[in-house]
């Protein structure tokens, strides 16, 4: 896609009002063109070959062929067309959206509810939808950054034409790691579904995760991941003790922090101001981890749009901690990990399938056969 070509969008929703609202809202952006609409998945699938959209927005509950059925059929013949679910932020909507992500949807935007006016609803949709359209569509995704200083091939590659290269921060002498903090956004549920089951049940340190998601969604995500992993995974609550082999996901609309001031390290939860337009924000968690654990920190930045986590990674790097990021090829959107890689903060940049081994090795460094509760003596 050239820099001047508009993003061609196909809107699929059984509500005439929603189709009209979304068409009007997206068409106000000069980089977007709504090329068609459809009231259900069956009609949408028939239109795709003719309209040739760059991205599709998809409702879940529709007659004849719903969103989940549509995704299943679409991915049989088209693995690459980006799909953004446009769903309600309810218990049922959360379950349906997570099902859709598992079936190949790339991202989601919540339908506006409890807003004062149509104008406000349109502004909210535009603010969330348009950046995701641009991030998911070729030519509008963040370009591969260019660095002026000497480059080091990632993973020891020969640095071919399609291989991104960045200056890696030397590991140096790795201190004992006492906590793993993960930041992730777009593409995160599937990335976590791959990564966490690959970690052993006796993983020797606690894991704290910020996944950009609204309330309700994070609880459902944690419950789903818990059924797939040997680790104990739950949505975080205030004062949960940070125990080895357990994973806590920040609750939607709350920041998560770590507190090592007492006898047992624990989780903090608060509703402070948004950072990077996010709550929970990765930077809030990473900053807290850097302050609490210093050189004993391990951060991992996975797929996601934007640069949330960059400032926190700088603090962790300054404290002597370790940082691992996901590579471009396996990321749904290479924004957050790219920001960290381009800043020269990553110790390793790895494909998603190789990250679990690296994290496990780092977590076990300096540990002998002993039981661990997070924190320990610094």
Enumerate the active-site residues.
Answer: 185, 212, 308
Sign of CA dihedral 74, 78, 83, 89: positive
Residue 298 and residue 290: Cα distance in Å, rounded? Answer: 9
3-state secondary structure of 166: coil
Are residues 252 and 213 in contact, defined by beta-carbon separation less than 8 angstroms?
yes
Are residues 207 and 180 in contact, defined by beta-carbon separation less than 8 angstroms?
yes
- H/E element, 11: strand 7-12
E-strand stretches of the chain = 7-12, 32-38, 55-58, 83-87, 107-110, 179-184, 207-211, 232-235, 246-249, 255-259, 266-270, 297-301, 322-326, 348-350
- Alpha carbon distances (Å) from 246 to 179, 211, 231, 261, 361: 11, 16, 6, 20, 17
Computed on alpha carbons and rounded to an integer, the radius of gyration of the chain in Å comes to 21
């Amino acid at each position: 896609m050239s820099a001047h070509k508009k993003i061609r969008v196909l809107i699929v929703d059984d509500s005439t009002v929603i189709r009209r609202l979304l068409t009007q809202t997206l068409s106000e952006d000069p980089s977007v063109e709504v090329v068609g609409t459809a009231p259900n998945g069956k009609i949408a699938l028939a239109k795709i070959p003719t309209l040739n959209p760059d991205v599709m927005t998809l409702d879940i509950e529709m007659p004849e062929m719903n969103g989940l059925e549509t995704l299943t059929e679409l991915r049989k013949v088209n693995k690459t067309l980006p799909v953004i679910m446009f769903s309600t932020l309810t218990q049922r909507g959360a379950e349906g959206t997570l099902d859709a992500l598992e079936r190949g949807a790339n991202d989601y935007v919540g339908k506006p509810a409890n807003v004062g006016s149509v104008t406000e609803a349109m502004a909210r949709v535009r603010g969330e939808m348009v950046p995701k359209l641009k991030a998911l569509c070729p030519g509008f995704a963040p370009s591969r950054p260019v660095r002026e200083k000497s480059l080091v091939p990632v993973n020891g590659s020969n640095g071919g034409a399609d291989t991104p290269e960045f200056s890696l921060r030397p590991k140096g002498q790795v201190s004992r790691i006492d906590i793993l903090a993960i930041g992730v956004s777009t593409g995160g549920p599937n990335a976590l579904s791959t990564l966490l089951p690959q970690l052993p049940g006796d993983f020797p340190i606690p894991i704290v995760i910020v996944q950009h998601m609204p309330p309700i969604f994070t609880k459902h995500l944690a419950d789903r991941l818990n059924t797939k992993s040997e680790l104990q995974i739950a949505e975080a609550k205030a004062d949960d003790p940070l125990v080895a082999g357990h994973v806590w996901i920040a609750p939607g609309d709350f920041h998560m922090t770590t507190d090592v001031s007492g006898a047992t390290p624990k989780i903090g939860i608060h509703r402070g101001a948004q950072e990077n337009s996010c709550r929970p924000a990765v930077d809030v968690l990473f900053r807290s981890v850097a302050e609490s654990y210093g050189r004993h920190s391990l951060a991992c930045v996975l797929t996601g749009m934007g640069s949330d986590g960059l400032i926190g990674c700088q603090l962790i790097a300054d404290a002597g901690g370790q940082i691992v990021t996901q590579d471009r090829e396996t990321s749904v959107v290479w924004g957050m990990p790219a920001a960290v890689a381009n800043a020269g903060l990553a110790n390793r940049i790895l494909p998603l399938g190789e990250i679990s081994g690296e994290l496990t090795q780092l977590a076990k460094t300096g540990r002998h056969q002993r039981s661990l509760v997070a924190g320990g003596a610094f």
